[in-house]
Amino acid sequence: MKIVGLACGVAAAAMVGGVAMSASAADEVNWNFSTWGKPRAFTAGMEALRDYVAEKTGGNFKIKIHYGGAISPPKENLDGIKIGSHEAANFCTSYHPGKNPAGTVLDLPFLPVAELTVQAKVHEDFYGHPEWKKEMKRWNAIPIFSGILPQYEFMGVGDAPKDASDFEGMRVRALGGIGDAMRKLNAVPTTMPAPETYTALERGIVQAISFPYSYTFGAYKLNEVGKWFTEGMALGAVNCPIIMNVDAYNALSDEHRALFNADLKWNSYNALIAAYKKADEKWIPIYHKQMQVVKFSKEQHDELKKIGAEPVWNEWVAKWADKIPSQELLDFVLERAAVHNKSA
């Protein structure tokens, strides 16, 4: 029996002559994974996933990563998982908060998860929360691991801001809670998928782009048009899970399902952390040579937090309180962050 994605229609077992025939570890499995953009530091985790399952099965479990939104636009990856048009994908909750409000708690600005290992542990705890599981079940999805991200900074054109007040009136690309924090500074935030940012900055649709620092600016070539960038704003990050289709997972053999364990997760997390470090070594010196750096001191960062952390958190709780246990979710994330920061 050969299992090739969902198209073959093999469920957890097939009926042959009235006898249930379970999927076997000897079966060939081919999955399609949908993502956007080119290979970069952020894709190191999904590439580690691909390599891990192939290695553990002697090449019998193959995951083909389709870059560049080739099989689904970024904002539709979750929909594709629901209907089974691809077996695995990544998505960002901030791209469509109405589809996944519970997950947007991890999009809130200035959460105490700047250290990437801590972020991974907090996200893992959250992915085990019943509310998130319920939300993912509605999309026929199972989280595999989190696409953890470095802290967000800005890169822009025009006059460089001297401090936070200079963002007033500035059109910026800022997702989720980070956008809400920038609104507190009287900036004008907008949401757009990463592949659209180069054109938006080049054409002046926005004056600045917030991205995980440092790899993303180089990956999307924003340094080719940017005139300045920030260091020390450390605005937070967003929630971008790697997920799989429930039916595709259930169709696997017991041996193949057992691959989706803590070893697989931390193999991917370690690959991501290493890739971000390598990217920093490459890109940060380039940015410093090409552009003006706007450094935010610890005092300036703390002032940003006063304006954009708890006030935005509280607004998020109030906004979603009638749909999800928003206060409980925020308290859970903060409690887990305190635990993991203490042991870091």
CATH number of the domain at 64, please. Answer: 3.40.190.170
Question: Residues 271, 299: one domain?
Answer: no
Question: Residues 325, 283: one domain?
Answer: yes
Question: Residues 224, 291: one domain?
Answer: yes
The number of folded domains in the chain is 2
Angstrom distance (rounded) from CA 275 to CA 268: 10
Question: Residues 216, 166: one domain?
Answer: yes
Give a yes or no: residue 107 inside a domain.
Answer: no
Question: Residues 71, 7: one domain?
Answer: yes
CA distances from 296 to 154, 160, 267, 301 (A): 11, 12, 34, 6
Tens-digit pLDDT profile for the chain (344 aa)? 334 444 444 333 333 333 333 577 778 999 999 999 999 999 999 999 999 999 999 999 999 999 999 999 999 999 999 999 999 999 999 999 999 999 999 999 999 999 999 999 999 999 999 999 999 999 999 999 999 999 999 999 999 999 999 999 999 999 999 999 999 999 999 999 999 999 999 999 999 999 999 999 999 999 999 999 999 999 999 999 999 999 999 999 999 999 999 999 999 999 999 999 999 999 999 999 999 999 999 999 999 999 999 999 999 999 999 999 999 999 999 999 999 999 98
Amino acid symbol at 212? P
Question: Residues 56, 165: one domain?
Answer: no
> How many Cβ atoms from other residues are within 10 Å of residue 211's Cβ?
24
Q: Is 325 helix (H, G, I), strand (E, B) or coil?
A: coil
Q: Which domain holds residue 51?
A: 3-95+116-147+240-277
Question: Residues 164, 207: one domain?
Answer: yes
